[in-house]
Structures are given as structure tokens and as C-alpha cells.
Structure 1
Amino acid sequence: MKLIRFGDVGKEKPGVQLENGTKIDVSHFGEDYNETFFETKGIERLKNWLKDNESKCPSISAEARLGSPISRPSKLVCIGLNYAQHAVEAGMKIPSEPVLFFKSTTAIIGPNDDVIIPKGSKKTDWEVELAVVIGKKASYISKEEVIDHIAGYVLHNDISERSFQIEREGQWCKGKGCDTFAPLGPFLATTDEIKNPNNLKLWLKLNGKTMQDSSTSDFIFNIQESISYISQFMTLLPGDVISTGTPFGVGLGLKPPLYLKPGDVMELGIEGLGVSKQSVKAYQTK
């Protein structure tokens, strides 16, 4: 099943994208895709509800805005340097254990919303990533238990401001959590839709030119290793998002480096998880 959320910013409603691509409004199911939904077996309950109610659900206009397919989670945890070639291009050593950082949940936007270059930014960059959505509370879980704790998977563009991230004092979160820096979607694909998350093609184009083209088979730490590891340090709650790192081909690694500017367009996708597209805009004083 493919879960979507649609409508104006802050007023999104739940929907489902059917196998034929049709999008339907499931507002009458009565729940948003949030922590409570996932922890109460919402995916299974929604599937059962649709057996009797799908034909009654109105279609969603093709022009409707898509929001993040998950209502704001308790946290968005990211893994850095999880592809060997990306570590090399970033000039950093290959890690011996996962590098963790957080993105602010206020960075989350819809898959086709504009990305805003922050005030004072000179080095805003792109990063296509596979993100995992937690379906069941996870604390100190083994690698063998991980798949049972996953609700599904989603496309993520881990937008990053490199001067904030690397050249300023402190942790990476300065360059990772700016507003609009976490486009998610177009949909959340439940686990039955993705047979092997550790072997998915992912790519990103900038203004029509391919910049990233790789596979999650190049993970240093795969999904099971990563989520088990994170659960040793914090409790993961239903609806939490875990972003699993980006492959080589980011602007930081080019010679000379290339960064986003107003007017640029990013298009990205992951096998089985659809495509998103973001236009880049300059920060405007409100």
C-alpha cells in the first residue's frame, strides 16, 4: 500500500495511491498518519477498511499538493557517510560504526514543495536518500527484529548547508535542520511493496543532469544494522523517520564544488518509491 497526504500546508488529509496510480481520499477513515496510527496497527486496519470503503472514497485531483506522507514525527534521525564513495568525496574517513545526527522535524516539507536557501547560505547541497519509517516502538532490538519494526519506506532529499554543517563550530545539525531541508515523499510504501531495501536504485538530477546514480547495495551499514544500532542509543517511536545516507555525487564532492542557486530544479527518485521534484528559491525576509 502507498500512503499519501494531500492538501494545503498544515491542513493535509490522508490518502492512498492505488496500484493503477489513482489517488483517493481516505479522510473518512478518521485518522492521520501519525504515531498513534502506526502504533495501533493502522496500516492493517486501513487495509481492512478499504475492502468495504474504497469505492466510496473520492478521487484526489492530479493538481492537489502532496504533503509529507507522515504527519510530523517525534524525530528524524539520519546516518552520515553510509556509502564508502561518498565518504571519500567528502574527504572523511570511512566510519567504523554509523555516524548519527538529527534533522529538525520543522524541516519536513512535501515532495514537490520549494526548497529555500537559508539566510546567509553559500553552500546548500543535495542528497538523495532512502528513509525508513518506524512502525513499532523499538528499543535495544536485534538486527533480526528490525524488519518487524518497520512500517515502510519513503524518498528523502537530505538538503544540507555545507558551511553551516562543516565550517561552523558544533554538530552537523546546524547545516541539516533548516526550514524546507527535508522533502519527503511522494508516498510511504509499506514493507510488502519493497522486497529488499538493501538493493534499490536511487538517483538525483540537477537541472536535468544526473548527479547521483547508485544503489543501496553500496551501504556500509545496511538497514538491519543501522536501525538495530540506533535503537541501542534511543527509543524509536512509531512514525519516526530514519534516513540512511546518500551515495556519491553531491555538490561538495565535485571539483570545483557546485552548490544550489535560486532557479535550480532537483529531481530525484528511488526504485519503488516514486519521484519528487523541488525548485530552489532564495530566502525572502518576511
Structure 2
Amino acid sequence: MRGRELYQLTQLANRYLNSQVVAQVQEAWTRRGDEQVRIERQRRRLARKRAWASRWLTAWLVITMLCGLLIVGVLTGAVAEGDVSALFGAIAAAMVTAVITFRSTLKLAMSKNAQREFDTRHPPPGLPAAAAAAPAALPPKGSAAREPMQRLAEAEKALAQVLAQLSGTASMPAAVPVESVAQAQTTSAEAATALRAVSGQLVAVELAKDHAPPLERGPLVEGIARLREQLDEGLDGYRSLVAAAGRVVAASSAPGPKQELTEATDHLAGLAVALRELSDAAG
């Protein structure tokens, strides 16, 4: 299929996405977005508890050390020489602060464990694709699909990091709605899957060409060129999403550029649909 035909198919896919199905998808994403907002709110609450537990532990450690210095001062005569009541008072204060310090240490450890368990159940946005998923195997060396798949793997890592920035942290609010980031993640994953399916077809055609009689290799060579064009076009769409997300991070204080992420996501969704239909048709 020529690039013109692929463009027409992409336009049809975009019109399809803008129909009634989009309303259903947006409604589903809204429901999921509400859940994501609740999860992120709880994540920030746990992070604040951990931060405050760390601060209180530091404060009580300092007080305990001061009480210890006071005891040493009384014993050496540097402070309240010969005053037994001062000595017992310093010891009592040191014991109290030591107990409070121990309890603060336990509270900090519990906060860390709670945050670790929560992150295990609900991985932060952007991390699953980069850390949990095993890297996909690249096509063989010499294959026309190897270089695009290398660029796709690099783009996936870059997108995961950029979307993690857009999701916000405990100290930095999210630059875009949580549902927009989640939609970009899902769409990028679908597009990457479609691109890898086309890559698998390209490798298979290359293998067939290598074992075909010389007079029958012409159509296979043309098929390899068409599949490579599809890979390049789909990869350009994927990298456009990375660029749009990067621009939103760079201009997070301005309201205008944030729309770019939605537009790039919609465009990539159309490419993903077109690539899947091409892959299904070839299969």
C-alpha cells in the first residue's frame, strides 16, 4: 500500500475516532481518571506523612543529643557542678526524648513501608512501561526493521520519563489532567504494539525474499519497502507525541500548549488504528 493510501486510511481512522465511539471512550477515561485522581491524592498524602515523620525524627534526634551533652556537662562539672537534681533531670529528659525518638523511627519506617506497598499496588504513571515491561527483542541485524525498532525503544523510554513529569509529584502539581496522561500512555502502548506487529511482518517478508527464487523476489522487495514506509510514518507519529509532551513540560506554566498533548494523542491513535488494520489485513 502506497503512502497516499495509508494517509487516506489514517484520515478514515481519525473520522472514526471522532464519531460516537470517542464519546464512549472519553466517558470510560473520565471514570478511570476519577480513580486515578483518588490514587494520586492518596499517594501525595502518604508522601507528606513520610516527610513529616522524617522531620520529627530529625528534631527529636537533635533534642536527644542536646540532653546527652547536658548529662556530660553535669558529670564533668561544666554545667551545674555538684547539682544532683540537675543530673537526674538531664537523665530523665534524655530518656523521654530517646523514647520519643525511637517511636518516631518506627513511625518513619511504617510510613516508608506503607508508601512502598502502595506503589507496588499502584505503580506511579510512566514507570510501568519503562521498568515493569521487559524490553522487546530487536529484529535481526541487517533487517530494515531494526533501525526503526531501535528508535521506537528509545522513544518509549523518553516518553515514559516525560509523562512521569506531567503526572506531578508530592511537591509539584500535575501539569495536565491525570486522564490526559493516562490516555497518552495507553495510546502510545497501542501504537508501539502495532508498530512491532508491522516490524514482524517486515522481518517475515525479508525471510521469504531470502529463500525465494531470484525471479520471484521483485514483489517481495516492493513489499519490504512499503512496510518500511509504514514503520517510518508510524514512528514519526509516536515521536510527535513525545515532542508534544516535552513542550507541555517546558511550558507547564502557560495554558495554551497543553492542548498539544491531546491533539498528538488523537493523531497517534489514528495511526495506531490504521497500522492495526493494515496488520490484520496482511495477516
Same fold, TM exceeding 0.5?
no
Task: Determine which structure has the larger strand proportion and give its number.
Answer: 1
Q: Give TM-score scaled by structure 1 length.
A: 0.23
- Higher helix residue share: 2
Which structure is larger by alpha-carbon Rg, 1 or 2?
2
